[in-house]
Structure 1
Amino acid sequence: MTVKDGYSGKDIKVLKGLEAVRQRPAMYIGSTDKKGLHHLINEVVDNSIDEAVAGYCNYIKVTLTKNNECIVQDNGRGIPVDLVPSEGKSALEVVLTVLHSGAKFSNKVYKISGGLHGVGISVVNALSEYLIAEVHRDGYVWIQEYSRGVPLNPVQRKGKTNKTGTIIKFKPDNQIFKNISFDHDYVLERLEELAFLNPFVTIEFHDENTGISKVLNYPGGIVDFVNSILEHNSLEKLYDIQYVKNVYGDIVVELAFVHNKSDIEIYKSFANNINTIDGGTHLTSFRNSFTKLVNSFAYEKLKDKDISFSGDDIRQSMVYVVSVKIPNPQFEGQTKAKLVSPEVKSAIENTVMNDVKRIFDSNHFVIDSILQKALITYKAREAARRAKQLVIARSKTDILYTVAGKLADCISRDV
């Protein structure tokens, strides 16, 4: 098969509206497999969480229907329905059909937001067989329906209401996804994370397929999160879970940590409620600062001043959650798996070297427990290193003897 030499303006294809999303969905949701499918729910729920963080929402309900639909409902302010002058369309339609639109590019409406790139809910619309948006705002109910990202009608006013909020109902498009059945465990895990990270919100979950219903609210926040991880993994803590919160400029840092009696390290890191599964500056800065702080106490408290713990020595039995909320965060890619905002480094370091240090200064049992556990790991690591060196040294000696013996066998005598 050959390609024609002719190349002109007729060969240029312009993808308008949400066509680009349907043409290359993986660019926007990472993949079209199970992970990408559930990313659609995350994008819609994140909008509701942003309303909660801004102080306008305290209830979110997520329902999975028997028809492979997802319904996300909140009691926030409701997506605006008035005209966007520059577009000549309702704000609701603009948010649902125009990439890089929304109030999250301005700190006036959402100072902290997970939907930074402004493509979330419009991408959900583009990749859904249908989507129905119902807004309760300004005393009325407003509804607009879409098919594969295309509005079927203008925004319609349907009646009066004394409530506020947004309800988004969508069904993933089987032209995009091979499997459009949601996994309730997958969804519930994410909702539980959000409930731990936002103790001021109640999240209700219901799966019509299994009958499973759950109300999620954790007043203890990420302390409850760490405790849940311990219980789920049957781990026994060495001391009470420690928690610090610090506001550093416009950055909010929350840390919760504890060491357990096993050798298991478990951690979770978040930026603006987004699970940064690949870590980033917040996780790296916490680990480095925590190692530095513990080693400073080790120098003061341990008899052997030559001991220097590695990060692994200190964290091998640690369970911890690192959460930051930051204006205009920088992530790698639309799926936001890794935070790369450099300004987070100073905020984390300040929190560890001041707030966590105060815990260690005032509660000697905590730092002594950490040092004792780290010392055991350190000694085991050093013993393994010396044993390895001894084996290598003996192996070299054995090789020399073997080679020398073979050389001796090769020497002939003249008769």
Structure 2
Amino acid sequence: MVKSSKSATRKTGYGADSLVVLEGLDAVRKRPGMYIGTTDSQGLMHCLWEIIDNSVDEALAGACTHITVTLHTDGSIEVADNGRGIPVDIEPKTKLSGVEVVLTKLHAGGKFDSSSYNAAGGLHGVGSSVVNALSSRLDVEVDRDGKTHHMAFHKGHPGVYTDADPEHPSPDSPFKKTRKNRPTELEIIGKVPPKRTGTRIRYWADPEIFNETAKFDYNQLIERVRQTSFLVPGLKITVIDENIEETGNAAIDTLVETDVDEAKAGAAETLEVAAAEAEQQLNTEAEATADQDEEHSEAAATDEDSAQQQAHDLVAEDTTVLEATQSKPGHRRVEEFQHTGGVVDFVDFLTMGEPVSTVWSISGQGTYKEETQAVDANGDLHAENVTRTCDVDIALRWTNGYDTTMRSFVNIVETPGGGTHVDGFLQSVTKLVRKAVEENARKLKVNLKDSKMKVERDDILAGLVAVVTVRIAEPQFQGQTKDVLGTAQVKGVVQRLCDKLFAELINGTKRGYKEQSMRVLEKIVGEMHARIQARKTKEVTRRKNALESASMPSKLSDCQPGNDDVAELFIVEGDSALGTAKAARNSAFQALLPIRGKILNVQKASLSQMLSNKECAAIIQVVGAGSGATFDLDQARYNKIIMMTDADVDGAHIRTLLLTLFYRYMRPLVEAGHVYAAVPPLHRIALTGSRKGQYIYTYSDDELAGKLAELDSAGITYDADIQRYKGLGEMDADQLADTTMDPRSRMLRRITAVEAMQANEIFSLLMGDEVPPRRQFIVDNANDFDRSKIDT
């Protein structure tokens, strides 16, 4: 027997009345993750990017030159620009103002029609409306047609707020929602010069949407603003943070007042000049045409009025810009960003370490065909084949490091996951580099007959700093968060352009690039050799038997297996110190590797030169974790790497060279705190009398003088013949063990790199090829010399 649908519905409780229809922006509030990814800090920042990107799109269209982002003390954020302003007239289909359409309708905006924006970051028509939906309050002001238009929203719904203090609007103020299906007219709140246009959006993120962990990240904002200023040359972006407590600094307040006074003085001067020019024109025309005095006088007077009006408008506009970007007295976190060099400047900014090449630029344009949905005159969609233009702008360089820094963008929107534009770039570069290596195999000492001698993409990426940008109309992203570009045709455009222009660079056919291209190829081939060597090292099983120990350098005095968690490797300066250290060590967990003199300065040397150096190669092999990008901290054979050198200037220099090797090619060892410097004593004081047989060790001349004075004041006698150690080899085994090697009594200095960027700069400055900056550093810091800070 078949049951009726009515009885089935009654049984399951699921019918048409169970369906929920979410209208307008309610769907966004119900499922915010679909639009901004998450409701934590990432989603909070994503809302700000949507608003900023809309202003940047105006700059890409050539209509905006200045964007101001203000962080107010009440938690709200305001983004202002001098673009064309959101349209304020009525949109024919919805009968609503352009402002209301943009801020309340999903998939609505000016970026679906390429006539308004050739390239834009906000493409789905949901950015502003989503931010509006997820804000407890949003206010928008638009300057157009000589008027300032204003409109307010509460959780995406238009209406009117009644603020107790209009100067300090609040989302908690009484709000009256506009009645459903009734157009909301824009409120005109002021007048502006006819030529002034722009948009200001201020919003308060809704705490009901974002979770408690959502925090605003100022540093992330600055980083995003800085990168945008690189990607849109000439665009000025100002960030004003009003959340810093007022300092009450009179000097700062005076500076602000001075800026305003200067602006006013400039305005008065502009008016005087305009009036003088108009008067001069009037007198000239009157003398030349005396028979038409009245007619020309009226015309000249009109010109004078026009000139003065233009001057007034210009002054008013300049004053408004000054007021908009000038922070309040005492609030001094104001940062401005403006760059003219584009992605070339961006790569220069991102570069860490010693450059192997200058910044190489690849710029051009290509076209492709794409089928898209176009809106006809009746508002209906239909398929249409269009020819798109793709602007490509790429900058790249290689450094002597092994880290890869690659940033990719589509219409200034960052694509962390890459996409077709990055695929085209990498495919072309990989192909051309391999070809260049084959053509220069003899110079590069590459055996083409060896199948293992093949450049891989990772070899090319090591030390590469690159920015890849494209500008296209209506790009296809994977998801609203726009992490990956999916437009397939872009790959071919980028690849063809790189095949032509990058080939000229890497082959050295472009004037001035022959020497650079060879250095780049040597660096890449060095990475290839390092990878092959690392693979060989990994093929050797970790210390399990005597056979493996025999595969290590013959001069290594290894420790007993089975103590990996506490194993220590002492890198000892000289063979004489090695003999003493062998007798002083605990062979159960302490290994010794002697080095002869000063090793290679790897900061100045290429990767291949480093690998061919016996001392450097031995250290890498003994540590057993590889080098460069292939370094694996978990494979390290020792828990502590201890540099044990003499307590003199030469010893300090050797430690510096060793540290350079560790930082450049085994950096995780340093970052994880596994690298140490032994601290051997410089003097030994032998006590006499009742304390005969006791010894005191000091580590500097100042400490020795202080200790002797202390003993004299205490009446403790000592042998006047103070022993001074010229090197570790002068100690006997017991002394070396007690002072430097025995964990129970020794002193070690742990080497750390808390600030990676600062460490990079220091290594580049002190150990690099550039002598003038190093000399200037010494001159600038000579007066601050502190001997106690010198590691000798």
The TM-score, its normalising length taken from structure 1, stands at 0.91
Give the distance between the partners of 1:11 and 1:69, measured in 2 at CA: 38
The residue identity in structure 2 corresponding to 1:351 is: L
The residue identity in structure 1 corresponding to 2:526 is: I
| Of 119, 124, 141, the match for 1:112 | 119
Offset of residue 367 of structure 1: 1.6
1:179-212 CA deviation, whole Å, 9 max, x = no partner? Answer: 4652211111111111110012111111111342
Q: How does 1:94-173 map to 2 (within 5 A)?
A: 94-153=101-160, 154=184, 155-162=186-193, 163-173=196-206
Q: Does the CA-based 8 Å contact 2:429-2:498 persist in structure 1? A: yes
Q: Does the CA-based 8 Å contact 1:195-1:218 persist in structure 2? A: yes
Q: Which shifted more, 379-388 or 146-155?
A: 379-388
Q: Which shifted more, 99-108 or 256-265?
A: 256-265
Q: Does the CA-based 8 Å contact 2:393-2:470 persist in structure 1? A: yes
Q: Which shifted more, 134-143 or 354-363?
A: 354-363
Q: Does the CA-based 8 Å contact 2:357-2:520 persist in structure 1? A: no
3-state DSSP class of the match of 2:459? helix
3-state DSSP class of the match of 1:267? strand
Give the distance between the partners of 1:246 and 1:66, measured in 2 at CA: 45
Residue 330 of structure 1 corresponds to 476
**Are 1:247 and 2:365 counterparts?**
yes
| Of 67, 74, 78, the match for 2:81 | 74
Residue 405 of structure 1 corresponds to none
The residue identity in structure 1 corresponding to 2:527 is: T
Residue 219 of structure 2 corresponds to 185
Give the distance between the partners of 2:215 and 2:431, measured in 1 at CA: 47
Give the distance between the partners of 2:538 and 2:155, measured in 1 at CA: 61
Give the distance between the partners of 1:184 and 1:4, measured in 2 at CA: 55
**Are 1:214 and 2:349 counterparts?**
no
Residue 236 of structure 1 corresponds to 354
Q: How does 1:340-379 map to 2 (within 5 A)?
A: 340-360=486-506, 361-362=509-510, 363-379=513-529
Residue 277 of structure 1 corresponds to 416
Identity rate, percent: 38
Give the distance between the partners of 1:106 and 1:167, measured in 2 at CA: 23
Q: Which has the higher contact order (CA 8 A, sep 6+)?
A: 1
Give RMSD over aligned pairs: 1.9
Offset of residue 348 of structure 1: 1.1
| Of 12, 18, 30, the match for 1:23 | 30
Q: Does the CA-based 8 Å contact 2:153-2:159 persist in structure 1? A: yes
Unmatched tracts of structure 2, length 5 or more? 1-9, 161-183, 245-331, 368-388, 549-792
Q: How does 1:377-396 map to 2 (within 5 A)?
A: 377-389=527-539, 391=541
Offset of residue 389 of structure 1: 4.2
| Of 238, 248, 251, the match for 1:204 | 238
The residue identity in structure 2 corresponding to 1:305 is: L
Give the distance between the partners of 1:90 and 1:142, measured in 2 at CA: 11
1:44-98 CA deviation, whole Å, 9 max, x = no partner? Answer: 0111111110111111010111111110000000000100111011011010000
**Are 1:44 and 2:51 counterparts?**
yes
3-state DSSP class of the match of 2:458? helix
Q: Does the CA-based 8 Å contact 1:314-1:370 persist in structure 2? A: no
Give the distance between the partners of 1:308 and 1:291, measured in 2 at CA: 11
Residue 551 of structure 2 corresponds to none
Residue 403 of structure 1 corresponds to none
1:194-232 CA deviation, whole Å, 9 max, x = no partner? Answer: 1110012111111111342111011111111111112xx
Unmatched tracts of structure 1, length 5 or more? 399-415
3-state DSSP class of the match of 2:534? helix
The residue identity in structure 1 corresponding to 2:465 is: V
Give the distance between the partners of 1:263 and 1:6, measured in 2 at CA: 63
The TM-score, its normalising length taken from structure 2, stands at 0.48
Give the distance between the partners of 2:216 and 2:72, measured in 1 at CA: 9
Give the distance between the partners of 1:11 and 1:142, measured in 2 at CA: 42
The residue identity in structure 2 corresponding to 1:225 is: F
1:309-367 CA deviation, whole Å, 9 max, x = no partner? Answer: 10111111111111111111111110001111101111111121111122232211222
**Are 1:85 and 2:92 counterparts?**
yes
3-state DSSP class of the match of 1:105? coil
Give the distance between the partners of 2:495 and 2:89, measured in 1 at CA: 44
Q: Does the CA-based 8 Å contact 2:356-2:398 persist in structure 1? A: yes
The residue identity in structure 2 corresponding to 1:174 is: P
Give the distance between the partners of 1:168 and 1:242, measured in 2 at CA: 39
Residue 224 of structure 1 corresponds to 345
Give the distance between the partners of 1:299 and 1:76, measured in 2 at CA: 52
The residue identity in structure 1 corresponding to 2:192 is: T
Give the distance between the partners of 2:192 and 2:215, measured in 1 at CA: 33
Give the distance between the partners of 1:31 and 1:199, measured in 2 at CA: 32
| Of 450, 453, 460, the match for 1:314 | 460
Q: Which shifted more, 175-184 or 89-98?
A: 175-184
Q: Does the CA-based 8 Å contact 1:68-1:182 persist in structure 2? A: no
| Of 397, 403, 416, the match for 1:264 | 403
Residue 406 of structure 1 corresponds to none
Give the distance between the partners of 1:86 and 1:75, measured in 2 at CA: 28
Give the distance between the partners of 1:4 and 1:53, measured in 2 at CA: 59
Give the distance between the partners of 2:11 and 2:393, measured in 1 at CA: 59
3-state DSSP class of the match of 1:240? coil
Higher-Rg structure is 2
1:381-413 CA deviation, whole Å, 9 max, x = no partner? Answer: 112223444659x99x99xxxxxxxxxxxxxxx
Residue 433 of structure 2 corresponds to 294
| Cα distance, 1:46–1:236 mapped onto 2, change above 3 Å | same
The residue identity in structure 2 corresponding to 1:78 is: G
Q: Does the CA-based 8 Å contact 2:40-2:215 persist in structure 1? A: no
